[in-house]
Structure 1
Amino acid sequence: MSPRIARSPRRSTAVAAVLATALAAGLITVSATSSASAAEIRVHDIQGGTRLSPLAGEQVKDVPGTVTGVRSYGARGFWLQDTAPDDDPATSEGVFVHTGSAAPTVKPGDVVRVSGTVTEYVPGGADSGNQSVTQITEPAVTVASSGGAVPKPRRIDAEAVPSAYTPKGDPADGGSINGLPLRPEAYALDFYESLEGMNVSVGSSRVVGATDPYHELWITVKPDEHPSERGGTLYGSYEAQNGGRLQIQSLTPVAEKPFPKADVGDVLSGTTEGPLDFNRFGGYTLAARTLGEVTGKGLARERTRRQAADELAVATYNVENLDPKDPQEKFDALGQAVVDNLASPDVLALEEIQDDNGATDDGTVSAEATLKKFTAAIAQAGGPAYEWRSIDPEDKKDGGEPGGNIRQVFLFNPERVAFKDRPGGDATTPTDVVRSRGKAALTLSPGRIDPTDEAWEDSRKPLAGEFVFRGRTVFVIANHFGSKGGDESLVSHHQPPARSSEEQRHLQAASVNAFVKKVLKAQKDADVVVLGDINDFEFSATTRILTDGGALTAAVKSLPRAERYSYVYQGNSQVLDQILTSPGVGRFAYDSVHINAEFARQNSDHDPQVLRFRP
């Protein structure tokens, strides 16, 4: 137990028990039988020296402070900061006052006294693993004066944020850091927690996560922390969480002032100031009362080179729930990107192709209308007349958006490659490998790999096919592994966070790896390309299982570290989409073509990947 908590006689074991029970529900609103004396309660007493308030569940009276920010939408309320801080850097001087459904009536600079119940709120609920937000609920607010200045902000910059990200969780507390004494001088997460609810500011900072549809962006206050070559921050290992990242939102409603559009590498210039919040989707967030201006740096969308006549170009692209109901503009933009940015690859594996009526849940599983519309858009943009091969899934058996029936699809340019059709493949019949005339061959092409195995339950099944290029057979396996949904975030109170979704991906990787080994057993020098949205990092156990026994090589590792990413999540540029090759492929050229993930305007949230080699 923290010495700072131990100093408070008000934290009884009974209150601790109430806190633990209420935390399990995600929202603590239990009133204790005792009230803390107004004469002795300040904000830092409420916050305490750990992540959980020593006064949770208690009634407090006339807590003094100055309003530093007001939120009139979403979780309504205001932030209160004490202007008479204690001498303990671990105890925050700010706290959120939640006004429930009522819009707050105070303004920044108001000097107030607040009475109410101290609670701990877990955004997303206890099952999310998120840290909790200390707050005062059911408040009674007395305004003593108005029109004053807000407390001077605490500057967050490279020097202030520790290089170490987080302490390890307490094994005796299930791996949680909730009960550990805060050490803001040692750990980035402790530093941010010690400022929870306080007025903070950042100076001009590089954008590392583009403006999203929810009117938020990510900056870094540590410009030298794992930079990518295009202005982002790389997530290169489970120990490189990048503590300089901070989410930025605005307290000004968008209807009153539009949120700025920013791409990765742009700069949020000037001073951005406001309370430090914690939310479900971003963790620590600067809720800006004053928002800086975006200075654009003109990041360009990349274009890969065209393949040589004797090179086979194979690509993968997650087109984000594409269906015929999407605007024609999306089809046109995706088609133009295939032609201009991907240089019309010979084989293109698509992920997230939805059925012919999208999310409408009426049993439709065909995606013919989707694919006709997409291939027409490619041709209209000057690309080849792609043909396609796919297998319709069983209704609602492959996960994804309910009713959408997403699946993988092969597009191929018949002027450059031939598809070796071996009929009989359907949603539940597995393809296999045989040896024919001294070479490996699929029993079904296109065919699905292990579609009824538990590894693929409620998930997209791999699609395998045989292609022929200049007389040489190439086996291509298109994948879309299980998502990371359900994993705890990097700011979880469990450290390290639980990554429960990995279990299924490990089974999926083992299934694909075993199938590739079957091909190589039948033909040692077979050219096998495994590609798609693997939903896991190049350093992950999923990738290690895929490459087990030397069956495959993760081609993205051929790139310089600063170029290894296909997705940007919470300001971390990371690998999710991959292409892996068998030893027979030999030398290749690899390109992660950055056209979406770094931009506020996206046609998909993923960047496509291209591999070129000579079979």
Structure 2
Amino acid sequence: MPRASSARLAALTVAAVCGATLAAQTTVLTTPAHAVSVRIHDIQGTTRLSPYAGRQVTNVPGIVTGVRAYGSSKGFWMQDPSPDDDPATSEGVFVFTGSTPEVAVGDAVTVTGTVSEYVPGGTESGNQSVTEITKPAVTVVSHGNPVPAPVVVDARSVPDAYTPAGDPAANNSINALPLRPSAYALDYYESLEGMNVQVADARVVTATDPYNELWVTVKPDEHPSSRGGTVYGSYDAQNTGRLQIQSLGSADDFPVADVGDTLAGTTTGPLDYNQYGGYTLVADRMGTLRKGGLQRETTRKQSPGELAVATYNVENLDPSDTTFAAHADAIVHRLQAPDIVCLEEIQDDNGATDDGTVSAAKTVSTLIDAIVAAGGPRYDWRSVDPVDGQDGGEPGGNIRQVFLFNPARVSFTDRPGGTSTTAVGVTKIHGKAALTASPGRIDPASDAWTSSRKPLAGEFVFRGRTVFVIANHFASKGGDQGLTAQYQPPVRSSEVQRHRQAAVVHDFVARLLKVQKNAEVVVLGDLNDFEFSDTAKILEGDGELWSAIKSLPKNERYTYTYQGNQQVLDQILISPQIRRAGRFSYDSVHINSEFHDQISDHDPQVLRFRP
């Protein structure tokens, strides 16, 4: 049963015939009045909110275009076969029955019920609402009628501008603004809410996920990546051609697609809106999957004089996982066994079991053994165990960053004193910068790290040169409003904590560089923010650091794929001494984010330089 085939499926755990549950997820905007006889386009109106919200409507006619008989959002879509001439008014609407609908596609029906505005994910999510008819009384007039022809959604029909700015008087909401479907992509999609739509020969830009969802673009030339995806390069480049695809059919028949594949032919169905990405074509007819042949990348091997440093989020790795061999193969053969590998999301030795365990020795040793079995070096490792339950992530998992290093190529400078609660400092030894503890955690008592991973600092020596490495995993984007939110621009509430985290790390690096101007410092990890974000700018400061992914062409700058956008979350920042011309090379190694069978949702990054 596909998760995202129903906006209510995750938000509700019981059928919405339960009045309390329905009330919690439905916004009724006016006081109910006497029933009126209207058409669907009257109900939908010319804004995002129905002028009939909260009112009874009677004998609304339409042709059934799709039936959803599973999940918590059972119901059907119907469409008026006699549209008006206003492009802003949708001719389709979802009828929420709460139980398996007793209608079929092609039935002509009349519906009496209450018009409601349902907010997928709840009103606090900031999502737009879906206009629905609830508590319906349905009369089937006839069977076997032609379904209204689908509206073709393509590069010509979708505007290049993404959204109007919200109304400042309404907390930047766009709900009450008149729809301008020829001017803005979000207005265009909203004007088709509930209608039968179609895309043709659409390129896949996010691979099939475990919930039988994928994303396509109807604008293949819109910010294309070098490998078939769509790059999110700024807050003003939301990529208007993205559309989520789900299915009204069997989950077993859903295409298993990677980025760069194509849904050849036509994909047709009602246009829905859900909390997992906004506007979604719920297909009753799916295009034929045509493979694009995308292959996983392999970076080049570092030369004897180059130090290779990588960052890799291994997604909640613990001893119960079956992905150790695959991660080992990736590290040895795809990343070419970097000298230092900074791992994020290493869980403790019993994973999500919440019993106070914090050691990750078993998790790390299992990975090291798998690397040796894959033909790689026997890495040594360093880390600092967190305080139980204090670093966020999956409850009980105690995720943390870990340094792997190849002792045949690089040595680690151990200095005692680094504990989960002791702050590492900067000192001077023989005229050069040094850490007071190695490994050590940066300012772990700061409230910048509340329920978040603390940075791990370590001192390495390669060919007689000291290199400082700081591994990070900043606070997640959880709680941010989506790109399709009713508030424009969307509120990115999570970045407040990341800005504070970035300032703490930047200031620590500045202290290192104050002691030793030419110190070689690498700051890396899952920063959960973009290379153009204020988080990155705070880290970079006045040139103390620079995000090396910006050395790549713009169409290669991505480490993660989310809702059709390829974007940067993982970064490696370098100090000026490393940035000097010709001294480094950078590679975002695409082995996960573009593929349905990913072993992590992040692509690893590799920096090579000559200390």
Structure 2 residue 85 is matched with structure 1 residue 91? no
Q: Alpha-carbon deviations, 1:17-41, whole Å to 9, x = none?
A: xxxxx99954135894422322xx0
For 1:377 and 1:206, the matched residues in 2 are separated by 36
For 2:32 and 2:496, the matched residues in 1 are separated by 45
Q: Alpha-carbon deviations, 1:451-486, whole Å to 9, x = none?
A: 000111110000000000000000000000000000
For 2:499 and 2:221, the matched residues in 1 are separated by 34
For 2:23 and 2:527, the matched residues in 1 are separated by 33
Structure 2 residue 527 is matched with structure 1 residue 534? yes
| Aligned position for 2:590 | 594
For 2:605 and 2:22, the matched residues in 1 are separated by 43
| Aligned position for 2:14 | none
| Aligned position for 1:363 | 356
* 3-state DSSP of counterpart to 1:63: strand
| Aligned position for 1:395 | 388
For 1:23 and 1:533, the matched residues in 2 are separated by 38
Q: Alpha-carbon deviations, 1:480-537, whole Å to 9, x = none?
A: 0000000000000000000000100000000000000010011110000000001000
Q: Alpha-carbon deviations, 1:337-381, whole Å to 9, x = none?
A: 000100000000000000011111111111011001111111100
Contact 2:36–2:56 under 8 Å retained in 1: no
| Aligned position for 1:295 | 290
| Aligned position for 2:370 | 377
Change (3 A) 1:174 1:420: same
For 2:601 and 2:266, the matched residues in 1 are separated by 29
* 3-state DSSP of counterpart to 1:141: strand
| Aligned position for 1:611 | 607
What residue identity is the alignment partner of 1:305?
R
* 3-state DSSP of counterpart to 2:215: strand
Q: Which of 535, 539, 546 lines up with 2:539 in the alignment? A: 546
| Aligned position for 1:124 | 121
Change (3 A) 1:173 1:31: closer
Q: Alpha-carbon deviations, 1:375-431, whole Å to 9, x = none?
A: 111110000000110000001100000110000000000000000000111111000
- Deviation for aligned residue 1:72: 1.0
For 2:201 and 2:355, the matched residues in 1 are separated by 51
For 1:132 and 1:89, the matched residues in 2 are separated by 19
For 1:296 and 1:121, the matched residues in 2 are separated by 37
What residue identity is the alignment partner of 2:35?
A
| Aligned position for 1:194 | 191
For 2:40 and 2:32, the matched residues in 1 are separated by 21
| Aligned position for 1:281 | 276
Contact 1:119–1:136 under 8 Å retained in 2: yes
For 1:320 and 1:193, the matched residues in 2 are separated by 35
* 3-state DSSP of counterpart to 2:536: helix
| Aligned position for 1:9 | none
| Aligned position for 2:34 | 35
Q: Alpha-carbon deviations, 1:178-201, whole Å to 9, x = none?
A: 000000000000000000000000
Where do residues 138-537 of structure 1 align in structure 2 (5 Å cutoff)? 138-254=135-251, 257-327=252-322, 330-537=323-530
- Deviation for aligned residue 1:297: 1.1
* 3-state DSSP of counterpart to 1:50: coil
Which blocks of at least 5 consecutive residues in structure 2 are unaligned?
1-20
What residue identity is the alignment partner of 2:269?
G
For 2:534 and 2:23, the matched residues in 1 are separated by 31
For 2:74 and 2:344, the matched residues in 1 are separated by 39
For 1:506 and 1:64, the matched residues in 2 are separated by 53
TM-score, normalised on structure 2? 0.95
For 1:258 and 1:365, the matched residues in 2 are separated by 42
For 1:517 and 1:405, the matched residues in 2 are separated by 29
Contact 1:355–1:370 under 8 Å retained in 2: yes
What residue identity is the alignment partner of 2:476?
S
For 1:326 and 1:113, the matched residues in 2 are separated by 53
Q: Which of 576, 598, 607 lines up with 2:569 in the alignment? A: 576
What residue identity is the alignment partner of 1:312?
L
- Deviation for aligned residue 1:596: 0.2
What residue identity is the alignment partner of 1:207?
V
| Aligned position for 1:12 | none
Structure 2 residue 44 is matched with structure 1 residue 47? yes
Change (3 A) 1:594 1:33: closer
For 1:388 and 1:77, the matched residues in 2 are separated by 55
| Aligned position for 1:556 | 549
Structure 2 residue 131 is matched with structure 1 residue 134? yes
- Deviation for aligned residue 1:152: 0.4
For 1:492 and 1:30, the matched residues in 2 are separated by 18
Q: Alpha-carbon deviations, 1:39-76, whole Å to 9, x = none?
A: xx000111011001110111111100000001111211
Contact 1:203–1:269 under 8 Å retained in 2: yes
Contact 2:29–2:117 under 8 Å retained in 1: no
What residue identity is the alignment partner of 1:144?
V
Contact 1:23–1:126 under 8 Å retained in 2: no
For 1:441 and 1:249, the matched residues in 2 are separated by 54
For 1:277 and 1:285, the matched residues in 2 are separated by 5
What residue identity is the alignment partner of 2:83?
P
Contact 1:315–1:609 under 8 Å retained in 2: yes
* 3-state DSSP of counterpart to 1:550: coil
TM-score, normalised on structure 1? 0.94
Runs of 4+ aligned residues of structure 1 deviating over 2 Å after TM superposition are: 22-26, 28-33, 35-38
For 1:80 and 1:376, the matched residues in 2 are separated by 58
* 3-state DSSP of counterpart to 1:186: coil
For 1:51 and 1:98, the matched residues in 2 are separated by 18
- Deviation for aligned residue 1:258: 2.4
* 3-state DSSP of counterpart to 1:516: helix
Contact 2:203–2:218 under 8 Å retained in 1: yes
